[in-house]
Amino acid sequence: MSQFKDGILTGKVALITGGGSGLGAGIARRFAAQGARVALLGRTSEKLEATAATIRAAGGEALCVAADVRDYAAVDEAVRRTVTTFGALDLLVCSAAGNFLAPAATLSANGFRTVVDIDLCGTFNACRAAYAALATRKGAILHITATQAFVPTPLQCHAGAAKAGIEKLTRDLALEWAGSGVRVNALAPGPIDDTEGMRRLAPGDMAATMRRAVPLGRFGTIDEIADAALFLCSPAASWITGTTLVIDGGTALAGGARFLELLAPTS
Ligand code: HXC
């Protein structure tokens, strides 16, 4: 039984890729607190189990399915296990991602391909595997992109290309699947505190410098991303599909040129 029997997601089942840590874990906790039963998909069982334990401790229901989003058969099996365990699938959140800072001039072809494979192909794999189950429930899909998808950003050509691909996939799937009642939207977060992404993209002193460059004066929080995810996956967004909601404290408004200054010393 979930903590909130009358939550906005009571009766819903959600599968969250990258659900063991960071934004995915925060979204999973929020969905569970709002009544959803959640399946957490990720590569590392220990991370999945730790997040599931916090959900269960709060009275929620959580299933852990260890899988790599690059492996279609494993993702397909994760969807099957979710439906078998919980009886349905209403919501899919594609949060699994990989990233690192690397200059395009020295990034290997395999490094570029690896990030595109995790972010873009992994997102397609999850959507493709989940579609049939989602269609029977007129469900919803949420992709996690990033402002690098449309703000040119040094040392991020691999992740930016992958996230831009996800944004286009969001609109294409939204159009193709609207007839089945499946909504497809995306969130584009800016810098978020306490995430693996920020540890990788703004190490050491760079975090304080980047924080000062956010128009609203601070990094976002995982809770703020979970709020937006809840909105887009809830009945409150029932006529919204094919959109990307930017949630970045205004960071993208200022453009990417200042990142050149911020990141140049590491290139
Ligand atoms: C240059 C690198 C690199 C680095 C890896 N590679 N790290 N190149 N700089 N720092 C290259 C490797 O040399 C290799 O190419 C290729 O990438 C694959 O590396 P592997 O380690 O074999 O891959 P894998 O074990 O699958 O690991 C995937 C990973 C890793 C992305 C490289 O960092 C990872 O697992 N990350 C998961 C967690 C994560 O990154 N979370 C943060 C997401 S942040 P060669 O040619 O040597 O074989 C995020 C936020 C926003 O998404 C994004 C903004 C757009």
CATH number at residue 101: 3.40.50.720
Q: How far apart are the first and last CA of the chain?
A: 51
Instruction: Name residues whose C-beta falls within 8 Å of residue 45's C-beta, 6 or more positions apart in sequence.
Output: 64, 66
Q: In which domain, by residue range, is 52 found? A: 13-247
- 267 to each of 20, 58, 114, 231, 264, how far by Cα in Å? 31, 44, 20, 38, 5
Is 68's C-beta closer than 6 angstroms to any atom of ligand 1?
A: no
Residues 225-254: tens digit of each pLDDT: 999 999 999 999 999 999 999 999 999 998
pLDDT band at 267 (very low <50, low <70, confident <90, very high): very low
Q: Tokens representing 111?
A: 């490094």
Q: Are 69 and 92 in contact (CB under 8 A)?
A: no
Weakest mean pLDDT among 31-45, 85-99, 207-221: 207-221
Q: Is 4 contained in some domain? A: no
Is 192's C-beta closer than 6 angstroms to any atom of ligand 1?
A: no
Residues 250-263: tens digit of each pLDDT: 999 988 776 666 55
**pLDDT at position 84, please?**
98
Q: Is 55 contained in some domain? A: yes
**pLDDT at position 173, please?**
99
Q: How far apart are CA 76 and CA 99, in angstroms?
A: 24
Is 99's C-beta closer than 6 angstroms to any atom of ligand 1?
A: yes
Average the pLDDT over 125-149 and give the result: 98
Give the residue, 58 or 259, on which the prediction is more confident: 58
Is 100's C-beta closer than 6 angstroms to any atom of ligand 1?
A: yes
Q: Is 2 contained in some domain? A: no
**pLDDT at position 265, please?**
53
pLDDT band at 88 (very low <50, low <70, confident <90, very high): very high
Query: How much distance in Å is there from the Cα of 98 to the middle of ligand 1?
Result: 6
CA-CA-CA-CA dihedral for 124, 21, 228, 33, to nearest 10: 110
The position carrying tokens 């408004």 is 253
Q: Is 26 contained in some domain? A: yes
The position carrying tokens 């709002």 is 34
**pLDDT at position 205, please?**
84
Percent of the chain with pLDDT strictly greater than 70: 94
Q: Is 96 contained in some domain? A: yes
Identify which of 27, 24, 26 has the alpha carbon closest to the alpha carbon of residue 43: 24
- Closest ligand 1 atom to residue 148 Cα is 55
- Closest ligand 1 atom to residue 70 Cα is 26
Instruction: Name residues whose C-beta falls within 8 Å of residue 215's C-beta, 6 or more positions apart in sequence.
Output: 249, 250, 251, 253, 254
What's the predicted TM-score (pTM) here?
Answer: 0.95
**pLDDT at position 32, please?**
98
Is 150's C-beta closer than 6 angstroms to any atom of ligand 1?
A: no
Task: Kindly give the interhelix angle for 45-57 and 22-33, rounded to the nearest 10 degrees.
Answer: 30
Nearest CA residue ID for atom 4, ligand 1: 100
Helices (H), the chain: 22-33, 45-57, 72-86, 109-116, 122-136, 157-177, 196-201, 206-212, 222-233, 257-263
Q: Is 265 contained in some domain? A: no
Is 163's C-beta closer than 6 angstroms to any atom of ligand 1?
A: yes
Q: Is 115 contained in some domain? A: yes
Q: Is 69 contained in some domain? A: yes
- Please determine, for residue 4, whether its predicted confidence score (pLDDT) is greater than 60: no
Domain count, the chain: 1
pLDDT band at 201 (very low <50, low <70, confident <90, very high): confident
Q: How far apart are CA 47 and CA 42, in angstroms?
A: 8
Average the pLDDT over 124-148 and give the result: 98
**pLDDT at position 59, please?**
96
